[in-house]
Each structure stands twice: as structure tokens, then as C-alpha cells.
Amino acid sequence: MFTKIPIISKEIEVYIADLLGENIANKYFDNICTPMEEYTLHVYKDETKIDEILQALQRNKFQASIHNEYSNLIICSPNGPFKLDSQPNLKKIVVDTKASEMIYQGADIYVPGVKRANKVKQGDTVQIVNQQNIHVANAEAQMNYKEMLENRKGLAAKNLQSPYVVPSIEQLNLDDLSIYFQSFPAYLTCLNLEPKTDERILDCCAAPGNKTIHLSEIAGNKARIVAVDRSKNRLRKLSDKINKFRIKNIEITSGDIIELSKKWNVKFDKILIDPPCTALGLRPRLSIKTTKDSIKSMSRYQKAIFHACNKLIKPQGEIIYSTCTISREENEEVIEYANEKLNFETIEQKYRHSDYASVVEDLKYPVQRFIPGIHKTLGYFIAKMRKI
């Protein structure tokens, strides 16, 4: 029926086929297990560094250019695909799903991602496989198997060969510059909220914070922004970025926005809702364990977040709702809930770069969808709402 990939259940395969149609579903399945064709590097405020960044990318053999509409975005492509050398006698390091997807793109192997490393010695050339035994890289062990299993951190193995190599700021030796990778749909998400100077803005699922920083940048670092997230660890990463970029107008709050909304007596001009989701649009995905039940459960939580934000938005205030997933329940059904139950209207977006709107035929909302295989980016959904 479709290009078979060993990472997805029949239930979800059929679900996506019904959702997207056979032609687009085929393209999705062909591309969801590969990196994005285009990565966007966001240059924060100081565009004088762009030539330096382009040169660093080119030195590392990445194709790169300035976006033809947005002068603070650099578009770069991953290198690959490369065929992995397969030597059946090599020892194996087994890594978890999240780690395998990073290693597949050229990342090194770190101890927290290691699940097993039987009899591996320091200096061994090893195969890196995920828990479904998919070969994702060849590497050189930097410690023996006992150290890998006993240590909580550290470099377990150095990546020697992977199917793809995606640029990273560390690899480019550009850590000192105020830049970060931000997917193009996420960039458009912030533009479409159109934050203004002196507006009060809430980013209610903020960490790790790239969109929070972008919202501040668009508003000239003068909007009053509150960034909320449940994960204290991820909020620390946002705090580090805020300090690095010397931003003074972002207030960080730890907690669940559903609970916080019950205590707060404040109204916001604009809110960004980019909630937890099933991430069926992220690339590459080498193991998709999502079920239809987990999609429905996530949709209920997303609606609860929207309900909480309904208490916090001013009359005529605007909300951007975005996800990196493709399901109907987590996208169209959430904004339909907001329209019918919470008195919102879905409005046009000023910045549009996708002709794909709703996948639900009887819903004519002016949303944007990005679909792997159709677009050179991750799968993504953007809707703009106004409180009426």
C-alpha cells in the first residue's frame, strides 16, 4: 500500500492515509524518516554576522544562502544520504529512540542515551543501533561498556559515519554568536502573532524558548512577555538564552498554565499556544509509537490549555495556536472547540507560505499546514484566533 518503514503501527499508517489521502500519505511516509531538506538559522538582531556564518557553513561543506524574503534567516541543507559501512562482526551500542534520531543526523553518542553496550571497549569501532535494531551510525567508543552504564553523563562514542549530517552551531564554532536554529514554520508562527511594543504577551508552553526570544525581537525587546513551562530543566535553557542575548523584557514562570490560570488576575493582549503534541511532524522519526488513543488524549489536554488561555486573553485579543503534528484531533478539532465553545474566530494570517489549509473538507478555516514530502520542512500547523 505504502512505502514500508519499520517504525509505525498499522493503526497509525491507516489513520494517516485516511487523513491525508493516498498520494500525500505516500510522500509523508517517504520523508518523515529523513531530515528536513532545509534548515533555517535565525540570526538574532545583528545581521552584520551573516557573511561570517555563511563562510562557516561553506567551510563545513554545507550549501547555504540567505532567505529571499527574510534577511535574518539563513537556509542550509543537510549533507547526505550516505550509505553506512556494514560490518557484521562489529560490537553494538544500543541507544534510545530520541538519541538515535539525533545520531542518525551526525550527532555524537552521549551516555544518557545508551541502553546497552555489551563488551564494548574504549577505542572499539562500533555500530550504533536503536531499540528496533535500525543501524543509525558507526562510531568510536570513548569509554568501555561498564563506564557507559555506570556514568550519568559524558561522551560514550564519537560519530564516525551517519546517513546524514545536519549543521550544528557547535560544529560551526559559532557558539559566541546570537543565533539559533528555528524551523521556518516556527518562524512564521511568531511573525503571525505580530507582537507590538508595550503589549502584554504570554507564551504558555515556552521552553526551550526560541519562539519566546523571536517574539521579543519582533517587538523590539519592548513587549512585556511572560514565558511559562512545566519543565524547570527546559526553562533553565531558556534562561541561558535570555542571558546570552541580553534580553530584559521576558519574565520566566515555572508551572502548568492550566493551574496558573486559576490563580492569575491578569489579561494578555496576545498569547502563543504551542502545546505538547504527538509530534507526528518532527523529522527524522525512526520510531513512531503514537496511537489513536494517545492522539485523543493529547487533544483533550490541548483543549484544556486553550480553555485556560481563554480566561487570560483580553476581548479582541489574539492567539496563535501551533503544533508540530499532523493529526486532525490536535489541530482542526482544537480550533473548532475554541470557535464553538470559547467564542473565538479564526482569522487570516499575514505571513503565509503554505497553500495547504485544513485537511477536513467541511472546515474552511484559514490555517496553514506544512507536510513532509510536500514542504521542505517539518510537519506543522498554524491557526490565528481572535476573541470575540
Domains and CATH numbers, the chain: 10-76 (no CATH), 91-161 (2.30.130.10), 183-387 (3.40.50.150)
What are the two backbone dihedrals, phi and then psi, of residue 61, each rounded to the nearest 5 degrees? 65, 35
**Which pLDDT score, from 0 to 100, does residue 38 have?**
97
Catalytic residue, chosen from 33, 190, 204, 324, is 324
Q: Is the dihedral of CA 100, 106, 109, 112 positive or negative?
A: negative
Closest to 319 in 3D by CA, of 294, 300, 342, 344: 344
Please provide the average confidence, as pLDDT, over all residues in the chain: 93
Is the pLDDT reported for residue 363 higher than 70? no
Tell me: pLDDT of 2 over 60. Answer: no
pLDDT in tens, 290-349: 999 999 999 999 999 999 999 999 999 999 999 999 999 999 999 999 999 999 999 999
The predicted-structure confidence for 224-241, as pLDDT tens digits, reads as follows 999 999 988 889 999 999
State the pLDDT confidence band at 45, using cuts at 50, 70 and 90: confident
pLDDT at 39 over 70: yes
Query: Is 324 one of the catalytic residues?
Result: yes
Looking at residue 8, what is its pLDDT? 86
In which order are the strands placed within the sheet that holds 179-181? 64-66, 73-76, 39-43, 179-181
pLDDT at 3: 34
What's the CA gap between 332 and 310, in Å, rounded?
A: 17
Flag whether pLDDT at 364 surpasses 90.
Answer: no
Q: Is a pLDDT exceeding 60 seen at residue 352?
A: yes
Q: Given pLDDT bands bounded at 50, 70 and 90, which one contains residue 152?
A: confident
The angle, 0 to 180 degrees and rounded to 10, between the axes of the packed helices 232-245 and 210-218 is 40
- Whether residue 5 is predicted with pLDDT greater than 60 in this model: the reply is no
Which tens digit of pLDDT belongs to each residue from 156-214?
A: 999 999 999 999 999 899 999 999 999 999 999 999 999 999 999 999 999 899 999 99
Q: How many CA atoms are closer than 13 Å to the CA of 259, on its beta-carbon side?
A: 7
Residue 251: phi and psi, rounded to 5, are -105, 125
36 grid coordinates: 528536513
Nearest to 135 by CA among 99, 84, 89, 170: 84
